[in-house]
Amino acid sequence: MITTDEILDQLEIMFPDAHCELIHKNPFELLVAVVLSAQTTDNAVNKVTPALFESFPDPKTMANADIKDIEDKIKRIGLYRNKARSIQNLSKSLLTSFDGNVPQSMKDLTSLAGVGRKTANVVRSVCFDIPSIAVDTHVERISKRLGLAKVYDSVEVVEQKLKRKIKRERWNKAHHLFIFFGRYFCTARNPQCNNCPFQNICKKEKLEKYKIAFDELRTE
């Protein structure tokens, strides 16, 4: 039986440069970028944030901006109107509650508009080097395919299981390794199964059967 450490060791060989691909220069920019990345690719976000941050480089300018101007900067990504409101509201909260600084605690981060556990964990990990595991769609899929979580586990349960099974000092790196593996190898629709080093432990078929059964129950 392969261990979690062995899985991570193999992923490090495959993706030695795994890192956060959202372009940012400071915690505020990353916080905004992660909020914008919901249901959108990092690549799409990276195309709109340079102009956005050139016009609104900090919480004060973002908070005081005309909402239409923010929308105009990000209209090429999905749900841009909702996201424009979120990043403006979180900017206002940063000013009123945190002196314009991005907080580090989970409680404070998730008090901000549009910020859930995943976004908070990304910021805590990347900007503040606080051991965290952010579970996005890639991390969830990989965790379940590799048998580190059950197919029916919620995102919150997946996070807790990964924290138990992965050594704390590897949490931050594991997050990026799982994302790179899910984004560039074990993709949702066309994974490279024939070349995968984890074929013997893969639960992909079981996961797909569960999804089909779940979808059928929802349509009844």
Residue 136: active-site member:
yes
What letter would DSSP give residue 111?
T
**Among 40, 112, 104, which residue's Cα sits nearest to residue 75?**
40
**Which of the following is catalytic: 17, 99, 107, 118?**
118
Q: What is the DSSP letter of 10?
A: H
Nearest to 142 by CA among 100, 186, 109, 88: 186
- Active-site residue (options: 73, 136, 144, 203): 136
119, containing H or E segment: helix 117-128
With residue 161 as reference, give the H or E element that holds it: helix 155-165
Whole-Å CA distances, 144 to 42, 91, 111, 165, 206? 22, 35, 29, 13, 9
Question: Which region, left, alpha or beta, applies to residue 132 given φ > 0 means left and ψ of -120 to 50 means alpha?
Answer: beta
Distance of CA 175 to the CA centre of its chain: 9
Q: Which residues of 145-184 are buried (b: 16+ CB within 10 A; e: fewer)?
A: bbbbbbbebebeebbebbeeebeeebbbbbbbbbbbbbbe
Find, among 217, 136, 119, the residue nearest to 183 by Cα.
Answer: 136
Report the catalytic residues.
118, 136
